Structure 1
């Protein structure tokens, strides 16, 4: 069943909404632009997408003309794009193009640069499509043995969602106020959190609402989909 957040968007300021480039213009800029100009093109694409237009017809062009680039800023924008682009077709099946995306992600998980590996592992934590995650698990697990601590740390988060769950549960049992303070910083992300983490956060909110009734109104108003 599709998540209620699947069609939710952020509003990102555009200097001139009437100056939105056409699909054809964006394709041309991706095909013929330099890495530096593609950075600006990708920023415009992301802004348009975050304002409600998923632009599904750009996926193949981005795979062909952005994914092979080694430009660091462009690669970072590429992973922002992967986060929000439509990955499923109208039948709820993984798009065929995502097989190529999967190959590109696997290559980055094996990249000699530890920061590219780490950034890719952080991206894996945000994926929710099992068909896309499964082929990447082997490469992600290999990163657990990487010589660089930054890679190993992100590999742990990518491989085991229970780490986040257990960390929050431990904080909640040790210091209720600090757990409440932490929760206030991630509150908007609770509906989209991993299920294990989401459950322990909701349980904490329920218990806190019993102990501190003044917090209940704020919690229940923001979490209208949960019964506290």
Structure 2
């Protein structure tokens, strides 16, 4: 019998590579994939992604991908997500410009 966990373990490397893909929609879908794996299996399979998701939230230009990265980061590590949010609010003259109105949803 093959478990869901063993199947997902094999896919996580491809998902990791897609976090740095040149197209934003691939990165956004990779984040949603990690989020779904996290919801179904817990932190065990996705614990290595916390730093990558945090970096993506900081550097991403597409606002919806940035929002998804923040939501995922908040679910995985609330401390890092709040520190990221605090940094944005403190450093920007207009934090809404940096986060965009889509972030307010």
| Residue 83 (structure 1) shift | 2.0
Q: Does 1:88 align with 2:43?
A: yes
| Residue 117 (structure 1) shift | 1.9
Larger radius of gyration between Structure 1 and Structure 2: 1
Whether the aligned pair in 2 keeps the contact of 1:121 and 1:155 (CA below 8 Å) is: yes
Whether the aligned pair in 2 keeps the contact of 1:66 and 1:78 (CA below 8 Å) is: yes
1:117 corresponds in structure 2 to 63
Q: Does 1:101 align with 2:47?
A: no
Q: Does 1:77 align with 2:77?
A: no
Whether the aligned pair in 1 keeps the contact of 2:56 and 2:66 (CA below 8 Å) is: no
Greater relative contact order (Cα < 8 A, sep 6+): 2
TM-score, normalised to structure 2, is 0.58
Long gaps (5+) in structure 1? 1-51, 158-228
TM-score, normalised to structure 1, is 0.32
Whether the aligned pair in 2 keeps the contact of 1:79 and 1:123 (CA below 8 Å) is: yes
1:152 corresponds in structure 2 to 100
Q: Please, what is the CA RMSD of the aligned residues?
A: 3.4
1:148-185, Cα deviation, whole Å (9 max, x unpaired)? xxx5322334xxxxxxxxxxxxxxxxxxxxxxxxxxxx
The number of residue pairs the alignment matches comes to 93
